[in-house]
Structure 1
Amino acid sequence: MPADAIEDDLARRFGIDPPLTLLARKSSKARIGFSRMRSSRPMRGHSLPAKPQEAFAFWVPLSVPFFSNLWTAGRRREVPDLRLGDVQLVDLGERPVVSLDIPFDSLRFYVTQVALDEMANEAGIRRVKGLYAPNFGGRDLVMFGLAQAVAGAMEQSGDGTAMFADCIALAFFTHIVRAYGGVRIGGRNARGGLAAWQLQRARDLINVNLAHDPSIAEIAHECGLSSGYFARAFKQSTGVSPCQWLTKMRVERAKELLKDPRCELADIALLCGFVDQSHFTRVFSRSEGYSPGRWRRVHRI
């Protein structure tokens, strides 16, 4: 399902504006979606039921209070009041419905059973036969941290790249299959880093695609590996994630272009894969300690 279809469906069901949504695993039909769900005002009635499907949704509040009235399979369920750092898990096959009588702000993680099966196969672990949490959830600071990272990327235009979304999806999968699927992650995870040719191939692909938005899946495919194994092996080989490496290479390329006084900052931003000059300045300053303009003046030849 494309991002705009998810946004339209959530907007219709919850009576809100289409929520910002990031999709991971774009090279696969089994995608994982992250949506920022917000309403600044209480509404009457309930959300519309979800279309029955083999999928799960994790709701991570970014403010409280949060939905306290929940119906699944047509029955009202007793659920505890959620605090910041808590999570609520619902099976979309049970057509969950919530009361909309309070404002809310949360990050919704969406994953299908097909995606769970596909990623389990890639990771070399047994199939995850559904997800479950007593009382529909509870304290989960890992999910809260992931939600904050995704929400921050959505607020900062350009930070939510395909590679960033893929990294979050891999971390999300690794956590939920252990915490909610009862599956231990092992096997391939214990293996070493990338072979020398794979590391060189990955670096070359990232370097020639700095102006674009390469995904982990695309680079992993060129190295003959699954997305999950590639991401883990790349970090073991380099000490950083593929997403962090991409950002580092974009900054290094920007430094080269900044040495040419004929290059405008806005043009450098686009050539290096930043959304605009503002995004370029923000990332560059965070990496180097001062703005591109000042860096250019300091390193003027």
Structure 2
Amino acid sequence: MGRTGAYGERLGAFLRLDEVPPTLMTRSLRSAEIAVTETRSDNPVLGLSGSFAAEDAYLVSLKLRDYPECEIWEQGRRLTKADVHAGTTYLYDLKADPRYVIDKPFHSLHFYVPRSALDGLADQSGARRIDALDCSPVGHDDAIVRHIGASLREGLRRPDEANQLFVDHMMLALAAHVAETYGGFRHKAESGRGALAPWQLARACDKLEADLGGKLPLQAIAAELGLSVSHFSRAFRAATGLPPYRWLLHHRVRTAKRLMREHGPSLSEVAISAGFANQSHFTRVFSAIVGVSPGAWRRDAMGAASREG
């Protein structure tokens, strides 16, 4: 495989999958591509996996299915053979040509993290760059990777509902966690690291409100304020109590409530106008935040309005 970037189509070819596996990607750290790909096969093509072009990057793999007696290869020779358990995390250095013997069904999430993203994380916080990640061939019981993986699997299943702010937020969290846990990275305290100034918050909210679909990346909003992505994310949360993607969901709900107080639009029209992918997406998010379905809320609001009238 001549091109770099161990995700999506190239990862599918590495595992000899018939279809391109679902992938989400961000470019929030120095425009470096960080991606997550879900790979699964209940009837795999047997044999040694493919080989990636060597690059200064890592795969962080969350196993979603047991894989007994997994035979791992590096640099053209067998490295180890061990039982792999669902829920464990493994790290692979793509400079070492990691491969494994495919001889049974598999299911995993693979996070592609290039060196440039890790360097960008350090540069944004003014910290020392890490030397390397610990890629010893052992499984890690990593609850944070499991949590991020579970959140992103929802987006992989419903990509039209996964707004870019959400993907950016999760990928930034993954990169920071991996750098700290397996690379010894330490954030350096930033001056003025509190909440956003009122003018910054107003401008950030204006940008978010102007793009209810959430397609605007975190990097673009942070750049508008002259801040790094990581600094902006922390400062926005300090100012509002919510990360940007959650704030946007709540704003969508506020917009939907305003629209539903009107008699005209249907719930499906409200959903699209408020930035949701479809009515079912609208119903799930609205019910989770408000505690009742949009239809029930609208009936109560209309009833209250008629009584007041």
TM-score (normalised: structure 1): 0.92
Distance 1:166 1:292, change over 3 A: same
Q: CA deviation at 1:27?
A: 8.5
2:167 match: secondary structure: helix
Contact 1:67 1:104 in 2 (8 A): no
Counterparts of 2:21 and 2:213 in 1: how far apart (Å)? 27
Match of 2:9 in 1: 8
Match of 1:164 in 2: 166
| CA RMSD in angstroms, aligned pairs only | 2.2
8 Å Cα contact 2:70-2:101 kept in structure 1: yes
Aligned to 1:117: 119
State the 1:43 CA deviation: 3.1
* 1:180 paired residue number: 182
Amino acid at match of 2:256: A
Change (3 A) 1:131 1:202: same
What secondary structure, in the 3-state scheme, does the structure 2 residue paired with 1:138 have?
A: coil
Output the CA distance in 2 between the equivalents of 1:169 and 1:188.
Answer: 21
* Match runs of 1:46-65 below 5 Å: 46-65=48-67
Alpha-carbon offset, residue 203 of structure 1: 1.1
The 8 Å contact of residues 85 and 139 in structure 1, kept in 2 or not, is answered as yes
Matched, 1:205 2:184: no
Q: Which one of 29, 32, 36 corresponds to residue 31 of structure 2?
A: 29
Map 1:210-229 to 2 at 5 A: 210-229=212-231
The answer for unaligned runs of 5 or more in structure 1 is none
- Any idea what SS the aligned residue of 2:183 has? coil
**Cα distance in 2, alignment partners of residues 112 and 240 from structure 1:** 28
What is the rounded CA distance, in whole Å, between the counterparts of 1:237 and 1:162 in structure 2? Answer: 21
Find the residue that maps to 2:190 and give its secondary structure: helix
Letter paired with 1:86: T
- Corresponding residue for residue 132 of structure 2: 130
Q: Which moved more, 1:273-282 or 1:79-88?
A: 79-88
* 1:103-131 alpha-carbon deviations (Å, 9 max, x no partner): 11111000111111112111221112221
Distance in 1, matches of 2:64 and 2:191, equals 32
Cα drift, residue 28 of structure 1:
5.1
Residue identity over aligned pairs, in percent, reads: 35
> In structure 2, do the counterparts of structure 1 residues 234 and 291 end up closer, same or farther at CA, with 3 Å as the change threshold?
same
Partner amino acid, structure 2, of 1:242: P
In structure 2, what is the Cα distance between the partners aligned to 1:240 and 1:208?
Answer: 18
Q: Is the 8 A contact 2:214 2:248 kept in 1?
A: no
Query: CA–CA distance in 1 between the matches of 2:169 and 2:114?
Result: 18
Residue deviations 1:45-69 (CA, integer Å, cap 9, x gap): 0210111111100110122226711
- 1-structure distance, mates of 2:286, 2:157: 18
Unaligned stretches of 5+ in structure 2?
A: none
- Evaluate the alpha carbon distance shift between residue 269 and residue 100 of structure 1 in structure 2; reply closer, same or farther with a 3 A threshold: same
| CA deviation after TM superposition for structure 1 residue 245, in Å | 0.3
Aligned residue pairs: how many? 299
The 1:206/1:157 distance shift into structure 2, 3 A limit, reads: same
Whether the aligned pair in 2 keeps the contact of 1:80 and 1:135 (CA below 8 Å) is no
Matches within 5 A, 1:39-50: 39-50=41-52
Runs of 4+ in 1 over 3 A off after TM superposition: 26-29, 156-159
User: Counterparts of 1:199 and 1:63 in 2: how far apart (Å)?
Assistant: 43
Question: Matches of 2:6 and 2:262 in 1, distance apart?
Answer: 44
**Preserved CA contact (<8 Å) 1:157 1:275:** no
TM-score, scaled to structure 2 = 0.90
Query: Structure 1 counterpart of 2:10, which letter?
Result: D
Larger radius of gyration between Structure 1 and Structure 2: 2
CA contact (8 A) 1:89 1:132 kept: yes
Between stretches 106-115 and 202-211, larger displacement belongs to 202-211
